[in-house]
């Protein structure tokens, strides 16, 4: 018997239970199913327009740049314009995300490569699972659709998020994750990204790009397509 099993066996003997009692199992299941909700700040509440406006304010406050486009179909042109205006190469890398794949990349002249990011990539594009209005945070899940390396290796990270996926608070985003992936089935990694990478560990001087992208550009697609 392992030390862990022995400890639990001692507890059960002290309580005079076996651990198999149906009422105790029902009590635990009910607690997990109907756990009381914590206090949620009101500032993130509101309709889609209000949530997007707050998200934009908070994201810009932490040095992210943001533009809004009418729909996903306008994203490639928006990215091409962003890269041209900043004298960046017209070359991007993205995963196999179906939402991004359906966009008209060929019409922009951009060179698009797919797969995990490599050290030489300057610009990567991701599709966010969602966003949190109250903190201006993007939420990205790992997988072939949007490899986690896209979040950390490039100097410039461009993230597309749909307006309908901007939720009020962290509690809501976890509900959305559970609903999308099912009970006990979560992605290996969930990254919360709030602004570009930064650190002030050395001499209390703020440096961008310390542990990841120096620049974070967010494109909010208002329409569903």
Stretch 17-33: mean pLDDT: 85
Which domains are present in the chain?
4-33 (no CATH), 42-221 (3.40.50.10420)
Question: Where does the pLDDT of residue 203 fall: very low under 50, low under 70, confident under 90, or very high at 90 and above?
Answer: low
In this prediction, residues 15-32 reach a mean pLDDT of 86
Using the predicted structure, report yes or no on whether residue 177 has a pLDDT greater than 60.
yes
Instruction: For residues 158-179, give the mean pLDDT.
Output: 95
Residue 2: what pLDDT? 87
Please check the confidence at residue 81 and state whether its pLDDT lies above 90.
Answer: yes
Cα–Cα distance, 32 to 17 (Å, whole number): 21
Buried b (16+ CB within 10 A) or exposed e, 136-167: bbbbbbbeebbbbbbbbbbebbbbbbbbebbb
pLDDT greater than 60 at residue 209: no
For tokens 């991004």, name the residue.
Answer: 100
Give the C-alpha distances (Å, rounded to integers) separating 220 from 25, 87, 126, 172, 212.
Answer: 45, 22, 12, 19, 22
Q: Over the chain, what is the mean pLDDT?
A: 91
User: What is the residue whose two structure tokens read 């699972």?
Assistant: 129
Nearest to 212 by CA among 186, 189, 188, 192: 192
In this prediction, residue 96 carries a pLDDT of 96
Tell me the two tokens of residue 7. Answer: 């400890």
Which pLDDT score, from 0 to 100, does residue 182 have? 82
Measured distance CA(151)–CA(196) in Å, rounded: 10
What is the model's pLDDT at position 103? 97
Q: How confident is the model at residue 204 (pLDDT cuts 50, 70, 90)?
A: low
Q: What is the pLDDT of residue 168?
A: 96
Least confident of 24-28, 70-74, 145-149, 190-194: 24-28
Write b or e for each residue in 182-217: b if 16 or more Cβ atoms lie within 10 A of its Cβ, otherwise e: eeeeebeebbebbbbbbeeeeeeeeeeeeebbbbbb
Q: Which of 24-38, 98-112, 183-197 has the lowest mean pLDDT?
A: 24-38
The rounded percent of the chain whose pLDDT value lies above 90 is: 68
């Amino acid at each position: 018997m392992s030390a862990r099993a022995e400890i639990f066996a001692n507890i059960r003997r002290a309580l005079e239970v076996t651990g198999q009692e149906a009422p105790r199992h029902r009590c635990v299941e009910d607690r997990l199913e109907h756990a009381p909700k914590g206090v949620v700040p009101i500032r993130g509440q509101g309709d889609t327009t209000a949530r997007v406006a707050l998200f934009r304010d908070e994201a810009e406050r932490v040095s992210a740049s943001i533009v809004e486009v009418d729909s996903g179909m306008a994203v490639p042109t928006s990215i091409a314009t962003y890269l041209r205006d900043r004298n960046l190469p017209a070359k991007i890398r993205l995963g196999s995300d179906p939402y991004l794949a359906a966009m008209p990349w060929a019409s922009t002249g951009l060179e698009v490569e797919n797969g995990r990011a490599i050290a030489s990539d300057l610009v990567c594009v991701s599709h966010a699972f969602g966003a949190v209005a109250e903190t201006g945070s993007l939420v990205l899940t790992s997988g072939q659709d949007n490899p986690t390396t896209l979040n950390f290796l490039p100097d410039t990270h461009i993230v597309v998020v749909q307006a309908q996926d901007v939720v009020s608070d962290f509690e809501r985003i976890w509900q959305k994750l559970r609903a999308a992936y099912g009970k006990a089935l979560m992605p290996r990694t969930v990254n919360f990204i709030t602004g570009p990478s930064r650190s002030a560990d050395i001499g209390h001087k703020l440096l961008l790009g310390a542990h990841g992208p120096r620049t974070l550009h967010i494109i909010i697609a208002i329409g569903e397509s």
